[in-house]
Amino acid sequence: MVDPFGREVTYLRVSVTDRCDFRCTYCMAENMTFLPKKDLLTLEELERLCAVFIDKGVRKIRLTGGEPLVRKNIMHFVRQVGRHVDAGRLDELTLTTNGSQLARFASELRDCGVRRINVSIDTLDPDKFRQITRWGDLDKVLEGVRAAQAAGLKIKINAVALKDFNDTELPEMLAWAHGEGMDMTVIETMPMGEIGEDRTDRYLPLSKLRADLENRFTLEDIPFNSGGPARYVTVRETGGKLGFITPMTHNFCESCNRVRLTCTGTLYMCLGQEDAADLRSALRASEGNELLSAAIDEAIGRKPKGHDFIIDRTTRQPAVSRHMSVTGG
């Protein structure tokens, strides 16, 4: 699959649910209205969609949510998709999680073919963790991280950089992650969906964060690529890798190889654009995959060059109306 700008699409992010057991303040409103269950694709339908994308050249699938591990029977789905890794048709099956369910599922994830996961942790202060997630329990998340390590999963910590919240704590988080053998990525907050607060109060350009980190650490740019949008450095003092995801200050669209599938069968060709394709209708119109394959081709032909995120005092509305939890980041 090649888009109009010559970029080969080899990476599919699948949001298996829009539901989450946290309510992170930069991601969603506290009183969310989630999709009715009748609107969701069955796990068998999601599996069929993944298989068609693999047939069309996708080599990496990342499962996201909401929180993917809260969906009922999710491990059956993970096991089915993981068989494509065993067969050599898929290079990697990965997962992004808030960690709340990891203690329960870590060993089974490994058994199903997952080798690498991202865990979202924005602070190591239990009170601040509860504040930013509204409902989260840091001890439970850290228990899940330890379980994942014991199961042999490679872990990367994802942290959203938030001004006047965790900016001064991020150096210590970096040292903790690297000390535990985990890489880390920091992410700029993105203007997606109404969240009940002013994002300009929390927006922290990663250019500023990097300058602050360089007061303590020696950061060396490296060409490492994990398949996603992060630009990586090595930290000389710790020996670990640190990634920067900068959709606001330096977007990563020129090398975008990703599309995003929601739990309703909607395909978003760009995280920061509203244009989407309805794959559910094509999926259910025929037992064969010809219509579905054609619908995917048509959608890839509309993939835009990039997004246009803005956060400032004059731009009050989110760039897109849907919450991050709908598209899976």
- DSSP H helical ranges for the chain: 43-55, 74-86, 102-111, 126-133, 138-150, 170-179, 206-213, 279-285, 290-300, 324-327
Nearest to 219 by CA among 199, 194, 244: 244
**Binding site members for GTP:** 13, 62, 96, 156, 258-260
Q: Tell me: cis bond preceding 66? Omega within 30 of 0 counts.
A: yes
Q: Three-state SS for 140?
A: helix
Measured CA to CA, the distance from residue 185 to residue 190 in angstroms comes to: 15
Residue 223's contacts (CB-CB under 8 Å, 6 or more residues apart) are none
Q: Assess contact for 58 and 93: CB atoms under 8 A.
A: no
Measured CA to CA, the distance from residue 200 to residue 189 in angstroms comes to: 10
Helix axes of 74-86 and 102-111: crossing angle, nearest 10 degrees: 30
Start-to-end CA span in the chain (Å): 21
**Binding site members:** 13, 20, 24, 26-27, 62, 66, 96, 120, 156, 190, 253, 256, 258-260, 270
Q: Assess contact for 242 and 219: CB atoms under 8 A.
A: yes
**Binding site members for S-adenosyl-L-methionine:** 26, 66, 120, 190
